[in-house]
Structure 1
Amino acid sequence: MVDLLLGQVLSFEGDPLREGAAAARHEACGAVAVAEGRIVAVGAAADLRAAYPAARLHDYGQALISAGFIDAHVHYPQTAIIASWGKRLIDWLESYTFPEEMRFADPAYAAAVAERYFDLALAHGTTAMCSYCTIHPESVEAFFGAAEARGMRAFGGKTCMDRNAPEGLRDTPATAYDQSAALLARWHGRGRLSYVITPRFSPTSSPEQLEALGALWAAHPDCLMQTHLSEQTDEIAWVKGLFPQARDYLDTYEAFGLLGANGLYGHAIHLEPREIDRLAEVGAAVVHCPTSNTFIGSGLFDMAGVAARMRVGLATDTGGGSSFSMLRTMAAAYEIAQLRHMPLHPAQLWWLATGASAQALGVADKIGNLAAGMEADLIVVDLASTPAIAQRAARAEGFWEALFPTIMMGDDRAITSVWVGGQKRR
C-alpha cells in the first residue's frame, strides 16, 4: 500500500550553505509517496495522485512536509537535568551532569529516561539523533532498545572516562575498549542503529585510554567517533595543562588515532588555524550546538569560516542545550550567525537541521531529504501553530517569509505529524 502525503513540500537539490536558497525546492501543492519504509516519489500533488490512484491519502492542507529533523549531538542521559541553572562547563559537569549520569548504572532508570527522551524528541519532530550515553553499558542498551522499538535511525555509544570524574563514572583503558567493542558487536548495523566510539573529551581520558579507543576505531573504521573540541576557553587551557606536548586541542585526539573522516567534533568554537586545516584535510565533521553555547556561555561558532571548509551538523546538545526543539536550535543558530555578521537564510537553517546533519553523520544517502529511494522519515509542520506565528505568517509575501516565523518562534506545537521509516508515529 502506498501512502500519499499532500501539502507544501520542501526538499533540496544541493547544499544551501554553499549554493544559497536556489538549492532548495518548494512545491506549494506537493505530495510525497511512501511505501515499504521508503519514499517512492516526490512532486506535484496532481501528478502523484494520478500516478498512485489507489494510494491512502493524508491531506495536510497548507502544512509543510519535510524530512525529519536530525540532532547530531545529544546527551540523552541529561534529559532530566535540562535547563539547570547556569554554570561554566566544568562546574556544570560536576554539579549536574556527573551526579545524574551515576544513576544510569540502574537499567530501570536508564530505560525510563531513554523512553522519555525519545518521546520528547519525536514530539519535537526529531526522527534521528546521535547521542552520548554514560560509561554504563546499561545506558547504551536502554538507548538502542528504545530507538529500535520505534524503528528509528539512531547513533550512540558508551561514554568513556578514566580520570577527572567521580569514581562511579570512571572506567579504564581496558574496560573502555572491551565494553565498547562488545556493544559495537551487539548493536552496530542492527536495523537502523549505528554504534559510535565515544571518548567524552580529552580531559576525562588518559593518554592510555585515548590510545585504546584509537585502536578500536582503527579496527572498525566504518563507525563514527564522537567527542568534544574547543568548547570553552578555560577548557582549552585545562587541556594544554594536561597535554603539554600537544600542538593544540585537536592534537590530543590526532596523536592517538582519533582524527578522521568519520570523526564528529562537537562545538568547535575556538579553533586554531591548524585545527581547521586538519579537520578539513581529513574530511571530518563538526557539530554546532547553539543553545548550549549560549546557555553555558561558551562562545560564538564561526559558521562562515567553518562551513566553507567542512561538513557541519546542527544539534540541541541536550541537556547543556536548553531545548529539545530543533526549531529553537535553528533560531539560536540564526542569532549567533547574526552576531558573526552572517545572516543565515531560512533554507540554510532548515538544511542544517536536516540534510547537513545527515551529511555530518555520513547518512545523507538515507535520511535528511525528500527524494525517491530515501528512508521515509518525515515531519509535517503547521506554519500557523500559534496566534503569534499565524498573524506574522499571514503577512508573508513568499514561502520563506512564511516559514521564518516558525523557525524563530515555533516549538512542538508546530509538529502536526511524524513519520518514521514510513510508519506514522504521531
Structure 2
Amino acid sequence: MEQAIADCIGRDPEQREFHQVVREFLVSIRPVLDRHPEYRRLAVLERLVEPERMILFRVPWMDDQGGVHVNRGYRVEMSSAIGPYKGGLRFHPSVNLSIIKFLAFEQVFKNSLTTLPLGGAKGGADFDPKGRSDTEVMRFCQAFMAELFRHIGEDTDVPAGDIGVGAREIGYLFGMYKKLQNKFTGVLTGKGLDWGGSLIRPESTGYGIIYFAAEMLGRCGETVAGKRWLVSGSGNVAQFTAEKILHLGGRVLTMSDSSGHIYDEEGIDAAKLAFIKELKNVRRGRIREYCDQYPQAVYVPADPVLGWNPLWHYPADCAVPAATQNEITGQDARHLVAGGVRLVCEGANMPSTPEAIAVFREHAVLFGPAKAANAGGVAVSGLEMVQDSMRMSWTREEVDTRLHAIIRAIHRTCLDEAAAYGREGDYVAGANIAGFVKVASAMLDQGLV
C-alpha cells in the first residue's frame, strides 16, 4: 500500500488533491488487503490509482465582443470495471487535472455503492460561467462538446452536471452532441424533463444527503425534526438539502457562496428558500442579497486570510458542507464540536480535511462521508439512464421511492462492511471497503485489462 501511495506521488508530484484522496482511501482499506493478499499480488491498487484514460484538450470560444478565449478541457475515465463511465462535468476556474482525478477516483467507489452498474469518471474545464451571458455559455459548451463527443456515448461514458454545470449547460452540451452524432440518446443525465430527463434528478443529491443523515440519526433514536442545521453552499445541492431538512421538520440556519455566508437565527423557511432559489438560479445573484430582503439575518463576507470559516462556529446540532473540497479544516471541526454539532454529513466531494475527520472521530461525531452520503445524485442519474433506455418516464413518487431505497441500502452496506472488518459504526471505512471490494472483484474477474 505504501508503495502504491509513493508511486502515485512520484509520478505526479504536483497533484495534491489526488494524493489526498488516494492516501485517505488506501489507509482505510488496509484490513481488506491483509485479508486478501491476491489484491496486492495482482497490483489492484496500482491499477486503480492510474486512470484507464485521460483526455485533455483545448477549448477555443468567442465572447460577445468578438474576443477569443482558450480554456482547457478534461475528461478522466477512471474505471469501467462495473459499468460505463459515469460522472459529472465541472466548469470552474479552479479546475485542473489533480482535482478532476480526485473527483474521478471518488466517483468510482461512490457509483459502486449505489448498487447500479456504473463505472467512474469526471471532467470539466477551467471556464467560469459566472458573469457570462447565455450566448457566451452556449458558445463555450458547444466548443467543449465539439471535442468531448468523440469520447462519450450512452454505453461508454455518460457525463452529468457538477459545479458550474446546471440545466442550462446540460441543454447546450446535449444539443451540440445530438447535432454532431445525428442521434438522440441518453448520453448526458440531468436533461430537461421534456427531452429525456428524470423527475427528482435536480433534487436527488440534496434529498439523498438528508435521507442518509436521517438513517444515521435513526440508529441513535433521533430524527431530523427539531434539529438546527448549518449548510454551506447555495447551489443545487445546498438548496435541496435545505428543502428536505424543512420537509422533515428541521431548521436551516446558514447558506453561503464564494463571497460569504448568511446566518438567519430564525431559520430559512420555505419562503426564504424560494427567494434563494430565485436569486441563485434565475438572477444569478450573490448570497449577500438575502439580507436586503430579510434584514434580521447576518451576512459575513469571506475572509481567506482568516484561516477558518465563521460559518462553522454557530451553535447547531448538525452540519452539511455542500460547497467545495476541503472547506472544513481541523480548526473548523473544533468549532463545530464546541458549538454542539453531533452529526456531519458531507454534501460536497471531500469537503472535510483529514485533520477535520480526526477531530470528528475523537469527539464521536456521526460522520457521513461524501461517497456514501451524496450518492443520491448519481443514483438518480442511473435511474434516468434506465428510463432513457426504456423510452419511458417514472412518476416523481416512484423515483423518490427508488432513491430512498438506494440510500437505505448504502447506509446498511457501510455499516455491514465496517463491522465485517472490525470497524463498527465507522462510515468512512465501511464506504471505502464496500466500494473497493466490489470494484476489485470485478477487475480480477475480467483479467489484466
Instruction: Name the structure with the higher strand share.
Output: 1
With normalisation by structure 2, the TM-score equals 0.30
Instruction: Name the structure with the higher helix share.
Output: 2
Quick one: higher RCO (CA 8 Å, sep 6+), 1 or 2?
Answer: 1
With normalisation by structure 1, the TM-score equals 0.32
